[in-house]
Amino acid sequence: MSLKELADSIRSFPGVTRKNDIEEVVDRFPTSGCPQVFAAAGEDAAAIDVGDRYVLFATDGIMESLVKADPFLAGYFSVLVNVNDIAAMGGRPLGMVDVLSSSPGGPRSAILDGMRAGVVDFDVPIVGGHTHPDCSYDAVDIAIIGSVAKDAVLLSSSAREGDDIVFVFDLDGEYRDHLPLAYITTMSKPKSVVTGQMEAVATIAERHLAHACKDISNPGHLGTLGMMLETSGKGGLVDVTRIPRPEGVDEIRWAETYQGCGFVFSCDPSCSSEIAEVFSEVGCATSVVGKVDGSRSLRITDGSETVVLFDFENEIITGCSSD
């Protein structure tokens, strides 16, 4: 596989391209006149000033294709993706509400069973919500709140030139035949490990070890990094040979995989080893894969060839930027 093939695959990957529409939505709802809003567009969760802390507020809807393919996992992932968003901000989740839409004879019970499994694994309650029991479709959406100390919040938009780019993955997982791009890592582990992985991000934040963080989601690891750099108004160079991946998984599949537990950090080089130590205690692999720079483009290299993956001077992923 050539670097160009990898770059072309990521750029055209629906997990990346479906993020393009975010720009239109964000432009309709500016927050610049709202002093209580510390951070919003481009972040994994909004940070709302409530005095001595920030309330973190996020929501995610589960793709229709997942609801159809595996309603139990759709319910489970509706919890997982929201918990990850709070963790990526350095926070701890407090509670969730859901909107459950169901059709007559649909998979509502399986979705609810999956949601309950997620609540048990991550120890975050669903405290209310809304049901649509008479729809022509089936869907699940969850909103979550969390909390973080003001001096510990992690943003997507605060990567700095000269920072190390650090990828974190739980490599102990599995793909399922009907979900070839979902790497499931949390369902077979004790609650202490699952919650410990989320708590590890809060530890990084409280020790001030990172400047920026995102959880690795639908755009995959390089696509998620691209979103961080775009939002920060920065660029970077990544050596793809340094990216950890499970044995037997090819680079393109891994680059397009949704991670059960995966994060990307931007940090001072003096902090990279301590980040690795924190995550090694909860079974995660960590690697410094590159550097943040001021180029406003994300390039990938294998040591002999370099290819531009995203050029933020001429293209967008989300269109969100700190500039």
Whether residues 188 and 248 share a domain: the answer is yes
Q: Please check whether residue 55 lies inside any domain of the structure.
A: yes
Q: How far lies 16's CA from each of 8, 104, 170, 304, 316, in Å?
A: 12, 34, 22, 26, 10
The answer to whether 156 and 42 have CB atoms below 8 angstroms apart is yes
Question: Do 131 and 88 fall into the same domain?
Answer: yes
DSSP 123: T
At residue 199, the pLDDT reads 98
**Domain total for the chain?**
2
Q: Give the length of the chain.
A: 323
pLDDT value, residue 323 = 62
Domain end, chosen from 105, 120, 151, is at: 151
Q: Report yes or no on 77 lying in a domain.
A: yes
- pLDDT at position 321: 82
Q: Does residue 303 sit in the same domain as residue 158?
A: yes
Same-domain pairing of 9 and 51: no
Same structural domain, 162 and 245: yes
What's the pLDDT at 249?
97
Let me know whether 162 and 275 are in one domain: yes
User: Which of 151, 176, 196 lies at the terminal end of a domain, its last residue?
Assistant: 151
The whole domain housing 159 covers 3-17+154-311
Q: Are residues 111 and 170 in the same domain?
A: no
**pTM exceeds cut of 0.95:** yes
Domain termination site, one of 110, 132, 151: 151
Give the pLDDT score at 141: 98
Same domain flag for 146 and 82:
yes
pLDDT (0 to 100) of residue 222:
98
Specify burial of residue 48 (Cβ count, 10 A radius: 0-12, 13-18, 19+).
middle
d(CA 259, CA 61): 17
Q: Do 164 and 94 fall into the same domain? A: no
Question: Which CATH number covers residue 104?
Answer: 3.30.1330.10
242, burial (CB in 10 Å: exposed 0-12, middle 13-18, buried 19+): middle
Position 170 scores a pLDDT of: 98
How high is the pLDDT of residue 1? 75
Does residue 323 lie within any of the structural domains? Answer: no
Give the helix/strand (H/E) hosting 139. Answer: strand 139-149
158 and 9 part of one domain? yes
Report the alpha-carbon distance of residue 190 to residue 302 in Å, rounded: 37
Structure tokens at 177: 């035949």
Instruction: Give the containing element (helix H, strand E) for 108.
Output: helix 108-122
- 317 is a domain residue: no
Residue 322 belongs to some domain of the structure: no
Is 39 among the domain residues? yes
Kindly state whether residues 239 and 293 are assigned to the same domain: yes
Alpha-carbon Rg for the chain, nearest whole angstrom, is 19
The CATH number of the domain where 230 resides is what? 3.90.650.10
For the chain, what is the largest distance between any 2 Cα atoms, rounded to a whole number of angstroms? Answer: 58
Residue 150 DSSP symbol: G
- Average pLDDT, 10 consecutive residues per value, the chain (323 residues): 94 96 90 93 96 97 96 98 98 98 97 98 98 97 98 98 98 96 96 97 98 97 98 98 97 97 98 98 98 98 97 95 72
Q: Can you tell me which residue has the tokens 């399922």?
A: 176
Nearest to 261 by CA among 57, 84, 19: 84
